[in-house]
């Protein structure tokens, strides 16, 4: 499902002395099936943007087209529920929102809220708990008896059980250990590939943005600063540095090497393998000097 933001503005506390524009003139088209990473400094408008994608916030100017539905500034949108079913958001620390007595009830809550029968909800719960790498036996447990990593997975299963067509991820791995982080990111990537849903990842990890995203949007001061493929975005390290943003480790080391040896690699290296082979190739050719 396609999402298209046109000239979106969002002002908080309009007509008060505290009025503040969090988004100004944001236009982003997200074609169906895209994996888009959104990066930007804390306060750049990433979170505000994200909350527009399923109608949690409405624009104060412009509109957001979500499939056939349009959320327009100043108009009451009646059918936000339909949008929220189609656009699932995994918030930061989603396990803080678990509340039911059992994992099963917690996962079923979302689908049933959207009118799915109990029987079907249970089927979806079983399916999504397996998807996130947990066994069905966990369904009968209290979510509060689980470890942090398991709780995170249960919360994610709850979003998946709503069968969203677009998955929005807000720092989904914050607080997890390195293995958990990789497992969760790989999980989202395989869901993205297998079911062809669009994925929008809000992240501080330049490594994740480089590794998983088709395209990156750089937010700055409430506007889109830049949009492009990871290799293009991360070849502008000086511009990013001005916004207080980093480049992936591979690019950092590549630039340091280029600076101190005078050498230029053929491309911006986004993975360990790319960087290793560029360095090895240059050394074999003997053109590092």
Partner 1 sequence: MGEMGETIVKLEQVVFKYDGQERNAVDHVSFEIFEGEWLAIVGHNGSGKSTLAKLLNGLLFPESGRILVKEKELTEETVWDVRRQIGMVFQNPDNQFVGTTVQDDVAFGLENAGIPREEMITRVGDALHKVNMDQFLNQEPHHLSGGQKQRVAIAGVVALSPSVIILDESTSMLDPKGREEVLETVRMLMEERGVTVISITHDLEEAARADRMIVMNQGSVYKEGTPKDIFLLEEELISLGLDIPFPVKLSSSLREQGIELSQIHLTDEELVNDLCELISKM
Give the residues lining the site for partner 1 (CB under 8 A). 41-43, 147-149, 174-180, 204, 244, 246, 249-250, 252-253, 256-257, 260-261, 272-273, 275-277, 279-280, 283, 286, 288-289
Question: What is the torsion angle, in degrees rounded to the nearest 10, for the CA atoms of residue 171, residue 174, residue 176 and residue 182?
Answer: 40
Closest approach, Cβ 233 to partner 1, in A, equals 16
CA distances from 228 to 18, 130, 156, 234, 243 (A): 34, 35, 28, 9, 16
- Residue 239 structure tokens: 């511009």
N- to C-terminal Cα separation, the chain:
51
C-alpha–C-alpha distance, residues 234 and 103, integer Å:
41
Q: Residue 15: helix, strand or coil by DSSP?
A: coil
User: DSSP state, 137?
Assistant: G
Closest approach, Cβ 176 to partner 1, in A, equals 7
Which residue, 33 or 180, has its beta carbon nearer to partner 1?
180
Closest approach, Cβ 231 to partner 1, in A, equals 19
Which residue, 27 or 271, has its beta carbon nearer to partner 1?
271
Closest approach, Cβ 272 to partner 1, in A, equals 6
Which residue, 8 or 275, has its beta carbon nearer to partner 1?
275
Which residue, 32 or 261, has its beta carbon nearer to partner 1?
261
Closest approach, Cβ 275 to partner 1, in A, equals 7
């Amino acid at each position: 499902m396609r999402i298209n933001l046109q000239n979106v503005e969002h002002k908080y506390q309009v007509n008060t002395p505290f009025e503040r524009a969090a988004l100004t003139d944001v236009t982003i088209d997200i074609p169906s099936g895209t994996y888009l990473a959104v990066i930007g400094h804390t306060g750049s408008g990433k979170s505000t943007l994200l909350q527009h994608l399923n109608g949690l916030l409405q624009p104060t100017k412009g509109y957001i087209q979500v499939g056939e539905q349009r959320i327009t500034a100043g108009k009451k949108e009646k059918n936000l529920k339909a949008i929220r079913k189609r656009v699932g958001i995994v918030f930061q620390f989603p396990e803080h929102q678990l509340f039911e007595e059992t994992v099963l009830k917690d996962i079923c809550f979302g689908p049933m809220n959207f009118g799915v029968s109990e029987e079907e909800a249970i089927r979806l719960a079983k399916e999504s708990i397996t998807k996130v790498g947990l066994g069905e036996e966990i369904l009968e447990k209290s979510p509060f008896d689980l470890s942090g990593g398991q709780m995170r997975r249960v919360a994610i299963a709850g979003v998946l059980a709503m069968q969203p067509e677009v998955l929005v991820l807000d720092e989904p791995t914050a607080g997890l250990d390195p293995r958990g982080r990789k497992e969760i990111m790989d999980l989202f990537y395989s869901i993205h590939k297998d079911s062809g849903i669009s994925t929008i990842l809000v992240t501080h990890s330049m490594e994740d943005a480089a590794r998983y995203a088709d395209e990156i949007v750089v937010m700055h001061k409430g506007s889109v600063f830049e949009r492009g493929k990871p290799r293009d975005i991360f070849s502008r390290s000086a511009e990013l540095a001005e916004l207080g943003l980093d480049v992936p480790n591979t690019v950092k080391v590549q630039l340091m090497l280029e600076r101190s040896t005078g050498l230029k690699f053929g491309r911006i290296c986004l993975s360990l393998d790319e960087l290793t082979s560029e360095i090895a190739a240059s050394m074999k050719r003997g053109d590092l000097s």
